[in-house]
Chain A
Amino acid sequence: MEGAAGGGLVPWAVVAGYGTRDQVGGSAFLTQVHTRDFDLRSFGLAVGLHDRVELSFSRQRFDAGSVIPGLLLRMDTVGVKVKVAGDAVYDQDRWMPQVAVGVMHKHDLDATVPKAVGARKGSDTDFYVSATKLWLAGLAGRNLLLNGTLRYTRANQFGLLGFGGDRNDQLRLQPEVSAAVMLNDRLAVGGEWRWKPDNLGAFQEQDAGDVFVAWFPSRYVALTVAYAKLGAIAGKPDQKGAYASLQLTY
């Protein structure tokens, strides 16, 4: 969702694209989320350099629909991720996961509304560390992927409602987890959960998660459909709904 390689909601320690340590690879994605009251569209590109450094850019478009007619919040995210240790797939004889550290700098293009509801800033930077590992034949003979991410952030609703607020203006650690099972080479199912801050007095924010099915008709294309629970957003409770994402990888 934010452009970094990983699951739909959570960045993983993997580097975008199929580039080996000698090559450059990349990916592009388009994601659409539709909850009861809101629409969120996100698209982006990522480049992976030598399976070591990832650069990503994404644009999020949050449409407040009928809740606040005409309200459109747009945000740009620029990310850098560096793999620092391990091999998620080939270190099958070790406990060590693949570990990466990253930053996401986010900038609200329409910061007036976020600041009007108490956000301290219209742009800010998240810092995170991720650990990802794939266990071949790890669950009932199927490949199992687990990821844990720790993010240092004060973003409100992923940054769409600005950064920091009257309740809290400090960067705080938020954990995020993902799990996926490869049913076969073409199909994976899984889920993610993201703990989130609650910095704005005006609008309560809750944790978010999804369960997903990902289909890989070829190694270059991935289509994911998910059911997402995003909690309360901008005063509207219980935002749940469908999520679809198309990703092309080279």
Chain B
Amino acid sequence: MPRRTASAIAIAASLLCACAAPPHASPTLYERMGGERALRQAVGEMVDRASTDPHTARHFEDVNLAHVKKGLFEQFCDLSGGPCRYGGDPMGDVHGGMQITEGDFYTMVQILRDALGHAGVGEREKNELLRMLAPFKRDIVTGHAP
């Protein structure tokens, strides 16, 4: 179609959208982290690194990594106010039989911090997300190193 018509339709559409949009609420942590793009990248890197890191790899043997990434994304998205509802099991149940040690847990925290940084998540948002995740440590760490 002629360019002028296309532009007119685009302008009209954006005006309609502006009228229909709700008043601007303060952005959620999810949005401030960079939304779906940033979180999927961070979770992807986190699981890829953890499944190959010598400290934590043993917990990922015979595990469906795509399934883990989906679950983690959903949970972080839910916790940070994103448009998701985590539908998986509680953290204690998920990790229960795995005998995760404190050392494994701290390795994961560092991997997650690095992955968030690589995905462009800022200092404040990294700290806020970790603040929400920190209390899960007592559900997740159930094992002792030999």
B58: A residues at CB distance < 8 A: none
Q: Is the CB of B137 within 8 A of A90?
A: yes
> B95 an interface residue at 8 Å Cβ cutoff?
no
A114-163 residues with Cβ-Cβ distance < 8 A to B are 135-137, 140-143
Within the assembled complex, what's the spacing in Å between the Cα atoms of A94 and B137? 13
The listed residue with most A CB atoms (<10 A of its CB), out of B122, B127, B144, B145, is: B127
Q: Is the CB of B127 within 8 A of A20?
A: no
Given the interface contacts A20-B145, A21-B102, does A92 sit within 8 Å of B135 by beta carbon? Answer: yes
**What's the nearest-Cβ distance from chain B to residue A61, in Å?**
36
Q: Is the CB of A136 within 8 A of B124?
A: no
Q: Is the CB of A185 within 8 A of B103?
A: no
Closest to A94 in B: B135
Q: Per-residue 0/1 for B128-146: is the Cβ within 8 Å of any A Cβ (1 yes, 0 no)?
A: 1011101101100000110
Q: Is the CB of A92 within 8 A of B134?
A: yes
A61-120 residues with Cβ-Cβ distance < 8 A to B are 87, 89-94
B144: A residues at CB distance < 8 A: 21-22
Q: Is the CB of A142 within 8 A of B135?
A: no
For chain B, what secondary structure do more than half of its interface residues adopt (helix, strand, loop), or is it mixed? helix
Q: Is the CB of A185 within 8 A of B113?
A: yes
Closest to B32 in A: A141
B98-141 residues with Cβ-Cβ distance < 8 A to A are 101-103, 106, 113, 122-125, 127-128, 130-132, 134-135, 137-138
> A184 an interface residue at 8 Å Cβ cutoff?
yes
B3-51 residues with Cβ-Cβ distance < 8 A to A are none
Q: Is the CB of B131 within 8 A of A142?
A: no
Given the interface contacts A90-B134, A90-B138, does A137 sit within 8 Å of B145 by beta carbon? Answer: no
Q: Chain B residues in contact with chain A, CB under 8 A?
A: 101-103, 106, 113, 122-125, 127-128, 130-132, 134-135, 137-138, 144-145
Within the assembled complex, what's the spacing in Å between the Cα atoms of A196 and B114? 42
For chain A, what secondary structure do more than half of its interface residues adopt (helix, strand, loop), or is it mixed? loop
B145: A residues at CB distance < 8 A: 20, 22-23
Option from A51, A92, A183, A185 in Cβ contact (under 8 Å) with B131:
A92
Given the interface contacts A136-B130, A137-B131, A141-B123, does A20 sit within 8 Å of B138 by beta carbon? Answer: no
A90: B residues at CB distance < 8 A: 134-135, 137-138
Within the assembled complex, what's the spacing in Å between the Cα atoms of A250 and B101? 18
Q: Is the CB of B127 within 8 A of A22?
A: no
Option from A20, A91, A141 in Cβ contact (under 8 Å) with B128:
A141
Q: Per-residue 0/1 for A172-196: is the Cβ within 8 Å of any B Cβ (1 yes, 0 no)?
A: 0000000000011100000000000
Q: Is the CB of B123 within 8 A of A136?
A: no
**What's the nearest-Cβ distance from chain A to residue B20, in Å?**
33
B122: A residues at CB distance < 8 A: 141
Within the assembled complex, what's the spacing in Å between the Cα atoms of A140 and B123? 10
Q: Is the CB of B102 within 8 A of A20?
A: yes
Closest to B113 in A: A185
**What's the nearest-Cβ distance from chain A to residue B30, in Å?**
15
**What's the nearest-Cβ distance from chain B to residue A48, in Å?**
13
Within the assembled complex, what's the spacing in Å between the Cα atoms of A22 and B142? 12
Q: Is the CB of B103 within 8 A of A184?
A: no
A135: B residues at CB distance < 8 A: 131
B127: A residues at CB distance < 8 A: 136-137, 141-143
Option from A20, A93, A94, A140 in Cβ contact (under 8 Å) with B124:
A140
Q: Is the CB of A91 within 8 A of B135?
A: yes
B131: A residues at CB distance < 8 A: 92, 135-137
